[in-house]
Structure 1
Amino acid sequence: MSNWADLTTGKRIKHLRGSDLTQQGLAEASGLSLALVQKAEQDRGELSIGSLLKLAHALKSDVSVILGQQAPRRATNQDTRAALRRLSDAVHDSALGDWDGIEEPSSLAELAAAHERVCATYWQGAYGELSELIAKVLLEGSVRYGQATGEERERLGAVLAGTYQFASSAAILLGQRDLALSALISARRLADESGDLVQVALLESTLSWIYLRSAKVSRAITVAERAALRIEPSFSKASSPQLLGYGRLMVSAAVAASRKGDSAVADDYLSQAHAAAARLGRDVTLHGTHFGPTAASTEAVGIAVALGNHGKALTLAARAELPRSMPKLARNRYKLDVALAQCAVGLHDQAADTLIEVALDAPEWVRHQALPGVIGKRLAKVSTARVRNIGELIGMPLIA
Structure 2
Amino acid sequence: MSNWADLTNGKRIKHLRGSDLTQQGLADAAGVSLALVQKAEQDRGELSVGSLLKLASALKTDIAVILGQQAPRRGMNRDDRAALHHLSDSVHESALGEWDGIDDPSTLDELTRARDLAWSAYWASDTAKVSSLASKVLMEGQVRYDSATGAEREQLALVLASTYRVAASCANGFGQRDLALSALTSAKLLAKEADDPVMSALLESTLSWIYLRGAKTPRAVAVAERAALAIEPSFSRASRPELLAYGRLMISAAVAASRREDESAADDYISQAHAAAARLGRDERLYGTSFGPTAAKTEAVGIHVALKNYGRALKLASHPAMRKLPKSMSKVARNRYKLDVALAQCAAGLYDQAGDTLIEVGLDAPDWVKHQALPGVIGNRLAKVSTARVRNISELIGVPLIA
- TM-score over 0.5 (shorter chain): yes
How many angstroms apart in 2 are the aligned matches of 1:278 and 1:173? 29
Contact 2:102-2:140 within 8 A present in 1 as well = no
In structure 2, relative to structure 1, the CA distance for the partners of 1:146 and 1:102 (3 Å cut) is closer
8 A Cα contact 1:74 1:175, kept in partner: no
Partner of 1:155: 155
Change (3 A) 1:100 1:70: farther
Q: Work out the CA distance in 2 between the residues paired with 1:263 and 1:103.
A: 55
Q: CA deviation at 1:57?
A: 1.1
Aligned partners of 1:2 and 1:81: how far apart in 2?
26
Shift of 1:134: 1.1
Instruction: Report the counterpart of residue 328 of structure 2 in structure 1.
Output: 325
CA contact (8 A) 1:207 1:223 kept: yes
Q: Which runs of 5+ in 1 are unaligned?
A: none
* 1:63 corresponds to: 63
Question: 1: distance between equivalents of 2:60 and 2:155?
Answer: 38
Identify the residue that residue 348 of structure 1 maps to in structure 2. 351
- Which amino acid in 1 is paired with 2:394? G
Structure 1 runs, 4 residues or longer, greater than 6 Å off: none
C-alpha distance in structure 2 between counterparts of 1:45 and 1:353, whole Å: 25
Deviations along 1:269-308, one digit per CA (max 9) or x if unpaired, are 1111111110111111111110010011111100111111
Q: For the residues of structure 2 that align with 1:22 and 1:378, how far apart are their CA atoms?
A: 28
Tell me the distance in 2 between the aligned counterparts of 1:284 and 1:228: 18
Matched, 1:362 2:365: yes
**Aligned partner letter, 1:332:** N
User: What is the CA–CA distance in structure 2 between the aligned matches of 1:140 and 1:167, rounded to whole Å?
Assistant: 15
Quick one: distance in 2 between partners of 1:305 and 1:75?
28
Asked whether the 8 Å contact 2:362–2:397 carries over to 1, the reply is yes
Distance 2:185 2:64 in 1: 26
CA distance in 1: counterparts of 2:148 and 2:42, whole angstroms = 60
CA distance in 1, matches of 2:13, 2:149: 53
Q: Please, which moves more after superposition, 368-377 or 65-74? A: 65-74
Cα contact 1:106–1:141 (8 A) shared by 2: yes
What residue is the counterpart of 2:32 in the other structure?
32
Q: Give the aligned partner of residue 42 of structure 1.
A: 42
Q: Contact conserved, 2:164 with 2:186, CA < 8 A, in 1?
A: yes
Query: Which one-letter code corresponds to 1:53 in the other structure?
Result: L
Q: Between Structure 1 and Structure 2, how many residues are aligned?
A: 400
| More contact order relative to length (CA 8 Å, sep ≥ 6) | 1
The reply to whether residue 251 of structure 1 matches residue 251 of structure 2 is yes
> Which residue number corresponds to residue 336 of structure 1?
339
Asked whether the 8 Å contact 1:233–1:243 carries over to 2, the reply is yes
| RMSD over equivalenced CA pairs, Å | 1.1
Instruction: Report the alpha carbon displacement of residue 99 of structure 1 after superposing the two structures with TM.
Output: 2.3
Q: Residues 146, 264 of structure 1: CA spacing in aligned structure 2 closer, same or farther, 3 A cutoff?
A: same
Q: Give unpaired runs (5+ residues) of structure 2.
A: none
- The normalised TM-score by structure 2 is 0.97
Which amino acid counterpart does residue 157 of structure 1 have in structure 2? A
Per-residue Cα deviation, 1:68-104 (whole angstroms, up to 9, x for no partner): 2222225221111111111211111111111244541
* Conservation of the 8 A alpha-carbon contact between 1:373 and 1:398: yes
| 1:53 corresponds to | 53
Alpha-carbon deviations, 1:144-164, whole Å to 9, x = none?
A: 111211111111110110011
Name the residue aligned to 2:388. 385
